Amino acid sequence: MNADIITIGDEILIGQIVDTNSAFIGSELTKIGVNIRQILSISDNESAIINALDQSIIKSDIVIITGGLGPTNDDISKTTLLKYFGGKLIIHDESLKFIKSFFAMRGKELTERNYKQAEIPDSCKVLLNKSGTAPGMVFEKNNTLIFSLPGMPFEMKELFINDVIPYIKEKYKLPFRLHKTILTEGIPESTMADLLKNWEDNLPEEIKLAYLPSPGILRLRISISGNNKKYLNIKLNDEIDTVVNLIGNNHIYGFDFDTLEQKVGNILLEQKSTLSIAESCTGGKISSLITSIPGSSQYFKGSVVAYNNKIKTDLLNVSLSDLKNFGAVSQQIVEQMARGIKELMKTDFAVATTGISGPGGGSTDKPVGTIWICVLTDEKVMTKKFLFGENRERNIIRASFSALNLLRNLIIASL
């Protein structure tokens, strides 16, 4: 079962907005076992729309079109669909009633343009839009279903979940497809590929593996498709177990939509433990990740960003002579920073970072990208040196995720 997604609007082509609708539609269709053949973004232009429809209707069973249904002159989807599928425009009473109440509720007059939004081709079935003024439409041609939906994400999503998905499920018998994504930190893509090579080479046809890298984080998506849902579930979980064993729990921080900052927060909350952070090279990024989680004030007390050596000595109690002897980027200093912040904020766990994010400040001994991270409790200390690359932004984000994963490992080891 194939689907094509067509998004219409010049604002997408010129990069004025990022097309998030397609990702949402792709994700929802994938969940019910529909395969996305392609996503096409085109201009508000009649011949571009007709050309796209011609091709998609031949190749796919489902076509989802978004955009071009608004009240202004550049919105031409409806008139183009009328021309393409034939029929004549008629007023859809239920939509008109809704549009009238929509404007009445906002104390606004119904304009001629908005009245026209209730007009629909009599060649389609209408999907009543309960959160905006443009109705959704369903056409059928050559046994392909064509859905036309408004481009506003909020309206599109509501129609898609409440109307389009049930419509597709009723029309087609779909195969089952299951996915699970393993989230890892600290293993580069090529190392991971070597690690999984044997397993990957022997995978049966119906199981697929995808590598999804981003700085510091590598996600591995395993998917399986077939007809027996119960068997698929067991099989998928078996494969997940195999991969988890190959990689090892130290590097796996979660599954699917987990984030490192959320996982760390969850365990701290469960354990009623508290956290403080002393950041040098990461400059506030770790604190910012931790506090992005709602309710983080229950376990996060605070942090000191010590961008200056005097702040390190005065606030974090770092030894001035050690600073001189070993330099700020050293095991000694990162451990003293962690002890200092833990003492200052009186927390169970503490994290510290010091390093050279770049682009300046490197030397032969300590090139740009050298970063020390320490996590500790009263009983345990874990300190690690990393050598990242030359890009400041990437060094900061990689150091931050490394620190969070080291902290996760320390918390688990302390349970």
Closest approach of a copy of itself to the CB of residue 49, in Å: 11
Distance CA(384)–CA(397), nearest Å, equals 16
Residue 191 or 245: the one with the smaller Cβ distance to a copy of itself is 191
Pair 318, 330: CB distance under 8 Å: no
Structural contact between residues 164 and 383, judged by C-beta atoms closer than 8 angstroms? no
How many angstroms separate the CA atoms of 4 and 146, rounded?
9
What's 164's DSSP letter?
I
C-beta neighbour count of 114 within 10 angstroms: 18
Amino acid at 377: T
Amino acid at 137: M
Strands 2-8 and 35-42: parallel
Helices (H), 106-152: 112-116
Residue at 362: amino acid letter:
G
Complex with a copy of itself: residue 220 or 252, whichever CB lies closer:
220
Smallest distance from a copy of itself to CB 215, Å: 8
Provide, rounded to whole angstroms, the least separation between the CB of residue 413 and a copy of itself: 25
Q: Which is nearer to a copy of itself, 138 or 209 (CB)?
A: 209
Q: Cβ distance 263 to 293 under 8 Å?
A: no
Asked whether 255 and 182 are in contact (CB, 8 A), the reply is yes
Nearer to a copy of itself, 123 or 250 (CB): 250
Contacts of 228 by beta carbon, 8 Å cutoff, 6+ apart: 176
Q: How far is the CB of 123 from a copy of itself (least distance, A)?
A: 26
* Closest distance of CB 9 from a copy of itself, Å: 8
What is each CA distance from 51 to 23, 88, 116, 342, 355, in whole angstroms? 23, 21, 26, 64, 55
Question: Closest separation between CB of residue 29 and a copy of itself, Å?
Answer: 8
Give the nearest distance from C-beta 216 to a copy of itself in angstroms.
12
What's the closest the beta carbon of residue 86 comes to a copy of itself, in angstroms? 26
74 vs 122, which CB is nearer to a copy of itself? 74
For a copy of itself, give the closer residue by CB, 106 or 173. 106
Q: Could you tell me the two tokens for 230?
A: 């119960």
Nearer to a copy of itself (CB atom), residue 15 or residue 204: 15
Residue type at 365? D
User: Minimum distance from CB of 407 to a copy of itself (Å)?
Assistant: 15
Select 111 or 380, whichever has its Cβ closest to a copy of itself. 111
Query: What is the smallest separation between the CB atom of 288 and a copy of itself, expressed in angstroms?
Result: 4
**Which CB sits closer to a copy of itself, 190 or 249?**
190
End-to-end CA distance of the chain: 48
Query: At 260, is the secondary structure helix, strand, or coil?
Result: helix
Whether 3 and 29 have beta carbons less than 8 Å apart is answered as yes
The DSSP result for 266-293, as a single string, is HHHHHTT--EEEEESTTTTHHHHHHTTS
The enclosing H or E element of 179 equals strand 176-185
Residue (145 or 218) nearer to a copy of itself, CB: 218
